[in-house]
Chains A and B, each alone.
Chain A
């Protein structure tokens, strides 16, 4: 029998229970590498628990820790000075629960006032003007409808909540890097508790979500403004930010996918316009730390005119021409893969005389998950190579991405926190498929503030990340 009451003193936490994230997290508790490598299966978990029992018998501090009730919840703001959330660690369950409470105010993008349309967010000012130009009442009504929430607003809230929880929960676990404590583990459940309506006193973030057309013809840019002390944060979203990564990718909304073309008929020669596009691509997707996190896949295409074998050869030649140009621009050959088979489904149109460039997995970002990353205390990771801070009319670093990023290689605000949890590469700005950059993948460095929260709420600084 254990000398401590794990399951009773530290009951398994209950999430708000609105999605699969809690189940996933419950079954995904990690095991410290000092016990059983990276395995997470139940037998190893049992072995871990038994080892902890044995260690605790001769280590009063460990015994006290394991017998402790839940640590927290504590409302925290990471040392990055942004965002805020509650953290609670349950020794018995080996689980860290990160809770973000938020109220969401669903705002129509446009409102009709005295027969005219007015914008409820400055990003939609042009939409109001465009709508007011419409003379036909039916067309005007159709236009306005795209900016008004329907009856079933709860579905949008639930979807965003689920997307964000799936993005952030249970990617990595933690263990304690301290002799005899290696068996102490923490899986991670991120619980987003969003309610529609007025803000609550203990909310971490107040959200305004503006209804915009689904096709992106008009949109509101998402952002997070941080408060102090973990609360008072505000977030602005577009209704389109309820789309998950797959939906957004299907709409062509990925910043990780570019095209170069059209090539001349039967030609693999790069035009000056093609070269300019590739120059911007190379500037946008620098490899900041040679960590291989932004590989590039080139898919050559060809229209259906001519013999199939000839077209496939031409498609490959086009991709290789792009590859050679990028390598001449300093892109490492090891990052580039030329993918064959790019002529399947081709038609005779000019649009098929192109090369597709895909960075990382190419998937579009789930924007709400990115913004909630800020609420979790993470800074951006993206390289704003398209910024023009010196005002000379040319993007300072020749790229196309603007915003609150920084030059590739700049240390992110949570870099030191990432290193403290054992991520040797830390966190740097770079355009890649990371959730805090331009994509939707969660990397160990993205758990930097979660790890810091675990260290803080348990007063154990030796927590390290698995994986």
Chain B
């Protein structure tokens, strides 16, 4: 279960809804800076550790991305740790379908191992984060988003953290570059298809 969702999920309705980091009632001027030492930059989410191995429960993920809940499902969080473990927190698990093709199906909320990246792949992700994500600012949202779900991404590299957020899916090339590097780092058979209860 969620202990606290630090990413503000703001109902859009007819008003502009720029999700912000920090507790929902935090005034804008009290928001943490987007770049700060990792320990001072709040995690995007504060979730239970269910499904995480003990050695990762206190670890700062190198990369964390959050997609807020919508009508179709719960919030989804993805974290890449320095040891190469890629964990996802969601209400879906991966199962092996007919013909060995993986599928996602409904399951209880918890952490599940999505993939294991090699040290070289992790180093490549770190390099892309440093080169493209650190210092990134997204344009201020304009207009209203309906049915969109707030999204955010946070990195922690070399002790320095940086975070961005948007009222709907983050399409910034810099963020996609990080995600694509993670995806390319996933090799066949590097994690079991069936990834937990």
Which residues of A line the B interface, CB within 8 A?
80-82, 113-114, 116-119, 121-123, 125-136, 138-140, 142-143, 215, 217-219, 221-228, 236, 255, 370-371, 374, 379-380, 382, 384, 386-394, 401-406, 410, 412-413, 438
Q: Please, what's the 1-or-0 string for B166-197, where 1 marks a CB less than 8 Å from any CB in chain A?
A: 01111100011001101110111111010000
**Contact status A122-B100, CB under 8 Å:** no
Assuming A132-B186, A226-B143, A389-B24, is B102 touching A80 (CB within 8 A)?
no
Bin the interface of chain B by size. Answer: 35 or more
Assuming A82-B146, A226-B146, A403-B69, is B186 touching A389 (CB within 8 A)?
no
Assuming A80-B14, A225-B144, A404-B13, is B193 touching A118 (CB within 8 A)?
no
B9 / chain A contacts, CB cutoff of 8 Å:
387-389, 402
- Nearest Cβ distance between residue B71 and chain A, in whole angstroms? 5
Cα-based distance from A393 to B45 in the complex (angstroms): 11
Q: List 8 A-B contacts (CB under 8 A).
A: A81-B143, A82-B146, A129-B114, A132-B184, A140-B188, A224-B148, A225-B167, A390-B24
Assuming A135-B189, A143-B102, A390-B24, is B78 touching A221 (CB within 8 A)?
no
Assuming A379-B146, A389-B8, A389-B9, is B102 touching A130 (CB within 8 A)?
yes
Cα-based distance from A138 to B46 in the complex (angstroms): 40
A412 / chain B contacts, CB cutoff of 8 Å:
13-14
Chain A contact residues: helix, strand, loop or mixed: loop
B88 / chain A contacts, CB cutoff of 8 Å:
126
Assuming A122-B151, A133-B115, is B102 touching A402 (CB within 8 A)?
no
**Contact status A227-B2, CB under 8 Å:** no
**Contact status B11-A404, CB under 8 Å:** yes
A217 / chain B contacts, CB cutoff of 8 Å:
97, 103-105
Q: Which one of B1, B14, B101, B186 contacts A142 once the chains associate, using CB atoms below 8 Å?
A: B101
**Contact status B101-A126, CB under 8 Å:** no
**Contact status A391-B24, CB under 8 Å:** yes
- Nearest Cβ distance between residue A297 and chain B, in whole angstroms? 21
**Contact status B24-A402, CB under 8 Å:** no
The 9 A-B pairs of least Cβ separation, nearest first, read: A413-B14, A402-B69, A223-B148, A391-B4, A135-B188, A404-B12, A132-B186, A217-B103, A139-B100
B164 / chain A contacts, CB cutoff of 8 Å:
none
- Is residue B160 within 8 Å, beta carbon to beta carbon, of the partner chain? no
Chain B contact residues: helix, strand, loop or mixed: loop
B100 / chain A contacts, CB cutoff of 8 Å:
134, 136, 139
- Is residue B41 within 8 Å, beta carbon to beta carbon, of the partner chain? no
A379, A384, A391, A394: most-surrounded residue (chain B CB, <10 A): A391
Q: Please, what's the 1-or-0 string for B1-38, where 1 marks a CB less than 8 Å from any CB in chain A?
A: 11111101111111001000001100000000000000
**Contact status B186-A133, CB under 8 Å:** yes
Q: Please, what's the 1-or-0 string for B96-110, where 1 marks a CB less than 8 Å from any CB in chain A?
A: 010111111100000
Which residues of B line the A interface, CB within 8 A?
1-6, 8-14, 17, 23-24, 46, 65, 67-72, 74, 76, 78, 86, 88, 90, 92, 94, 97, 99-105, 114-115, 142-149, 151, 167-171, 175-176, 179-180, 182-184, 186-191, 193
Assuming A227-B143, A228-B143, is B191 touching A236 (CB within 8 A)?
no
- Nearest Cβ distance between residue B73 and chain A, in whole angstroms? 8
B69, B167, B189, B190: most-surrounded residue (chain A CB, <10 A): B69
A390 / chain B contacts, CB cutoff of 8 Å:
24
**Contact status A126-B13, CB under 8 Å:** no
Other A-B pairs, 6, CB within 8 Å; known A128-B183, A226-B144, A402-B9? A119-B183, A129-B115, A130-B102, A223-B146, A379-B13, A393-B1
Assuming A391-B23, A393-B2, is B146 touching A133 (CB within 8 A)?
no
Cα-based distance from A426 to B145 in the complex (angstroms): 22
- Nearest Cβ distance between residue B165 and chain A, in whole angstroms? 13
A121 / chain B contacts, CB cutoff of 8 Å:
169
Residue of B with least CB distance to A370: B147
A114, A117, A223: most-surrounded residue (chain B CB, <10 A): A223
**Contact status A133-B70, CB under 8 Å:** no
Cα-based distance from A328 to B100 in the complex (angstroms): 48
B145 / chain A contacts, CB cutoff of 8 Å:
223-226, 404
- Nearest Cβ distance between residue A402 and chain B, in whole angstroms? 4
